[in-house]
Structure 1
Amino acid sequence: MSKVFSKIILSTGFLIAGVSFGIWGARQFDSSQDLSTPFSENYSIPVLDSNPRRELDRIEDHRNFNFIAAAVEKVGPAVVRINASREVVQEDFFGGMQPSQGRQETGTGSGFIIQEDGLIITNAHVIENSSTVTVSLRDGQFFEGEVLGIDQMTDLAVVKIDASNLPVVTLGKSEDLVTGEWAIAIGNPLGLDNTVTAGIISALGRSSNEIGVPDKRVRFIQTDAAINPGNSGGPLLNIEGEVIGINTAIKANAQGLGFAIPIETAQRISQQLASKGKAEHPYLGIQMVTLNANTFTNYDFPVPEEYQNKQGVLIIRVIPDSPAERGGFQAGDLITEIEQQTIIQTVDVQEQVDKSNIGEPLSVTVYRNNEIVVVEVIPGQFPE
């Protein structure tokens, strides 16, 4: 009898200890508690619910509500599903391409609302060549979408739906990101709506060549947060629930590698698409390579010997009748600065040119014939 009684006492002790531990775990997440003062001064026993099961559920709910859940709760209502329908085309008897009557293919992607009146950002490849675009919200609302503009060079597009008082996202800054910090992705991968994945920022400033899309003019954010087909166009968030990028690409044959367009690029391009229906891309008209040891051996262009210990971007060709030719650039010029920003590799040139304005002078510092020369060039519109 004494053994049974001892087991009862021991079990009761464990139960009390377990509940106490749960209460202490919940208290640790109480942001109102001043942790700078001793425990005995600011801790008070919480009032327990009379129903033990309900009280344990309350404690567990509080314990599991982390920064990811908070970010999703903040942004989730503004993330949308985009369905696009395209008419299938096929080769006719004469070798031309003709619509296949009655046959359509559909695709699914993601997007997010940036204005209460229904302005949505997504990827260009989600909706390009579509005959119809529909948008569904998390709360079940369903709308026909109007495509205001598509920009293939940045893989961005803007869609408008006829609505008001819609939930919107908060935009952050990708330029403040640090490799290794948390990243959260929301979207509709593989048709599974409102899917959330989390990881870290794996790298910053990935060039389009590095990830296998050389026709794009973007410096990508790399993340290991799972991004699958259907995530395209959805937001990448920081721990504050702010949008820092647009999920856009998965590198072929890779595990755990996803890429996002920085939100600053998305803002700039989306404003142009919404107001003009197209994006303007400043253009100089040069062919260039990053100056390094390989430049001296892998190119037929004669690299001056005085460049051996220098860094910058080497111009190997100036396009005839281009802004660069009119501005006075020469093959063999070594670009070292643009608008007083140091240039080390070709993506630096691309970034600075993208930030410039068409028709306004751009100051470029080059090294030429052992002299420093400042060239004033006026960027033009990228040729179609």
Structure 2
Amino acid sequence: MTGQDPDATDGSQDPGAPEVTPTPARPAGAFAPPTAEPAATPVNEPGAAPEPLWPVPAAPYDAGEGHGPATVGPGSTAGAAYGPGPYALAAPASRPTSDWPRPRARRVSVGMTAGIAVLALVAGAVGGVAANRIAAEVGMYRPVDAALPESSAATQPAGAIATIAAEAIDSVVSLEVVGDDGVSTGSGVVIRADGYILTNNHVVADASGDDAVTVLMTDGSELPAQVVGRTSDYDLAVVKINATDLTPLVLGDSDEVVVGDPVVAVGAPLGLEGTVTTGIVSALHRPVAAGQTDTAFIDAIQTDAAINPGNSGGPLVNGAGEVVGINSAIAQPPGALQATGSIGLGFAIPSNQARRTAEELIETGSATYPVIGVLLDERYSGEGVQVVSDPLEDQEAVVPDGPADDAGIEPGDVILAIDGRPVTRTDELVVAIRAKAPGDEVTLQVRSGDEESDVVVVLDEAVSE
């Protein structure tokens, strides 16, 4: 199966955050203004002084520091500082002299006035009847107790999606990477309190320059990051920021994951930080070849949790709040040339693989992967996977003194299964071996001619570039 990096429209670049027009803030209780002022005669004709809201003679008024005293009353111009119009309202005699704003004169159409009057009459009639009935029953104006159930305000139970999200979201960051072709984005997960962050290699692979990677924290701060190490073979990378006392997420045991387990994906799809989606583990051991130039072979966890461009490098979290995978690729319909969005098939690197690789990258700056020392024939069709019969481009079919040679595997042999798991394609065998560690033993079911046998192979080590 071929996966696509969910971070770029061209295989490497993120399309960026969607354009969103923010809604202007309004004070609490405010109504939205009409899109156009009603074309009608205002109630108060310009030039006619309105009646004051309260009867009080004009009096000196202190407009506040820097304004000086002013006379406030009908016809005064002091009110112009707080709104247009030739009118000002008289201040109450009991109100202390302060810089209090005056309401603006409102323009209301005749038709609107009639409508308001009708509504007021209807509401008044209904309200009057209801109020009289309530007053007769309880002696005061308040709602009758209908004994409706009330909220218990209970907290979310352990294992609830909201609980998992709340615990994980502060440990997930967004990454902005400046490359030769522009800026791409991705996600990352804090794995150590002293600033180490795990992400995908394809998120940071195109970084150009020492300050090309920026980490956006959940509190809104932005910190420069340095790439500690990366490997294209596993599509993993570790970056570090200058920070302490971070909250890392635990890398759980991905070998304990079973199909049907609930999972939560956290990340920044399309640059939208702190996005949480949920689903289940829909399959295991999916052989995924991700990438276009540097192909990564992933023995992937498949999930239907929505993963979109920008989610790459973010965690796939289980019900205990532990990371069981690093979201890395999404499937697209046949014929699609670029990642367009989730269709319910996302793929994550198992956490056990991520842990081993991250430890190597932190300690040495590079990673290793296991090999058996054979060349596989891509042209072969049939049961199992065949070792090539003849050398290719000066490479031996079976590496001399390599693991397969030591186990007795010969050119032309067919490998039918690894550790009891049948294989029918070359990438299935490759990802199954890559899921192991150098020095591990695997049992291969091999057919040589007409004979089948189980052979034990001790995996050798190769250094990732």
The answer to whether TM tops 0.5 is yes
> Could you tell me which residue of structure 2 aligns to residue 173 of structure 1?
253
Q: How does 1:77-88 map to 2 (within 5 A)?
A: 77-88=170-181
In structure 2, the residue corresponding to 1:260 is in which secondary structure?
A: strand
- The answer to whether the Cα contact below 8 Å between 1:286 and 1:317 also exists between their aligned partners in 2 is no
> Displacement of 1:206 after TM fit?
1.0
Where structure 2 has 5 or more consecutive residues not aligned to the other structure, the ranges are: 1-128, 334-341
Partners of 2:464 and 2:161 lie apart in 1 by 43
Q: Which one of the candidate residues 243, 254, 263 is aligned to 2:323?
A: 243
> Displacement of 1:378 after TM fit?
5.5
Structure of higher CA gyration radius: 2
Could you say if the C-alpha distance between residues 344 and 212 of structure 1 is closer, same or farther in structure 2, counting changes exceeding 3 Å? farther
Does 1 or 2 have the higher relative contact order (CA < 8 Å, sep 6+)? Answer: 2
Partners of 2:357 and 2:377 lie apart in 1 by 26
Cα-to-partner distance string for 1:348-373 (whole Å, 9 max, x where unaligned)? 64355335554787665534353636
Partners of 2:442 and 2:185 lie apart in 1 by 41
Cα-to-partner distance string for 1:39-79 (whole Å, 9 max, x where unaligned)? xxxxxxxxxxxxxxxxxxxx2x7479971111122111111
Q: Which one of the candidate residues 409, 420, 423 is aligned to 1:342?
A: 420
TM-score calculated relative to the size of structure 2: 0.58
Partners of 1:224 and 1:376 lie apart in 2 by 35
Q: Which one of the candidate residues 168, 172, 194 is aligned to 1:75?
A: 168
Counterpart code for 1:370: E
More helix by share: 1
In structure 1, the residue corresponding to 2:227 is in which secondary structure?
A: strand
Partners of 1:317 and 1:144 lie apart in 2 by 51
Where structure 1 has 5 or more consecutive residues not aligned to the other structure, the ranges are: 27-58, 89-104, 291-297, 304-310
Partners of 2:421 and 2:310 lie apart in 1 by 36
> Displacement of 1:115 after TM fit?
0.5
In structure 1, the residue corresponding to 2:247 is in which secondary structure?
A: coil
> Could you tell me which residue of structure 1 aligns to residue 187 of structure 2?
110
> Displacement of 1:261 after TM fit?
1.0
- The answer to whether the Cα contact below 8 Å between 1:202 and 1:224 also exists between their aligned partners in 2 is yes
In structure 2, the residue corresponding to 1:145 is in which secondary structure?
A: strand
Q: Which one of the candidate residues 127, 144, 150 is aligned to 2:224?
A: 144
> Could you tell me which residue of structure 1 aligns to residue 353 of structure 2?
265
Q: Which one of the candidate residues 343, 346, 366 is aligned to 1:255?
A: 343
> Displacement of 1:195 after TM fit?
0.9
Partners of 1:379 and 1:66 lie apart in 2 by 41
Q: Which one of the candidate residues 255, 279, 289 is aligned to 2:367?
A: 279
Q: How does 1:1-384 map to 2 (within 5 A)?
A: 12=144, 15-19=146-150, 22=151, 26=152, 59=153, 62=155, 67-88=160-181, 105-130=182-207, 131=209, 132-208=212-288, 215-253=295-333, 255-288=343-376, 299=380, 313-317=385-389, 320=396, 322=399, 323=402, 326-327=405-406, 328-335=408-415, 341-345=419-423, 349-351=429-431, 353-354=433-434, 357-358=437-438, 364=444, 366-368=446-448, 369-370=450-451, 372=453, 374=455, 376=457, 379-381=460-462
> Displacement of 1:140 after TM fit?
2.8
Cα-to-partner distance string for 1:6-32 (whole Å, 9 max, x where unaligned)? xx89x846x31332xx3xxx3xxxxxx
C-alpha RMSD over aligned residues? 3.7
- The answer to whether the Cα contact below 8 Å between 1:237 and 1:243 also exists between their aligned partners in 2 is yes
- The answer to whether the Cα contact below 8 Å between 1:208 and 1:214 also exists between their aligned partners in 2 is no
Could you say if the C-alpha distance between residues 382 and 286 of structure 1 is closer, same or farther in structure 2, counting changes exceeding 3 Å? farther
> Displacement of 1:314 after TM fit?
4.2
Could you say if the C-alpha distance between residues 364 and 214 of structure 1 is closer, same or farther in structure 2, counting changes exceeding 3 Å? farther
- The answer to whether the Cα contact below 8 Å between 2:218 and 2:274 also exists between their aligned partners in 1 is yes
In structure 1, the residue corresponding to 2:147 is in which secondary structure?
A: helix
> Could you tell me which residue of structure 2 aligns to residue 44 of structure 1?
none
Partners of 1:331 and 1:249 lie apart in 2 by 34
Identity %: 34
**Pairs aligned (count):** 310
Partners of 1:137 and 1:379 lie apart in 2 by 40
Could you say if the C-alpha distance between residues 114 and 360 of structure 1 is closer, same or farther in structure 2, counting changes exceeding 3 Å? closer
- The answer to whether the Cα contact below 8 Å between 1:135 and 1:144 also exists between their aligned partners in 2 is yes
Could you say if the C-alpha distance between residues 187 and 367 of structure 1 is closer, same or farther in structure 2, counting changes exceeding 3 Å? same
> Displacement of 1:163 after TM fit?
1.6
Could you say if the C-alpha distance between residues 259 and 372 of structure 1 is closer, same or farther in structure 2, counting changes exceeding 3 Å? closer
Counterpart code for 2:206: N
Partners of 1:159 and 1:237 lie apart in 2 by 20
- The answer to whether the Cα contact below 8 Å between 1:364 and 1:377 also exists between their aligned partners in 2 is no
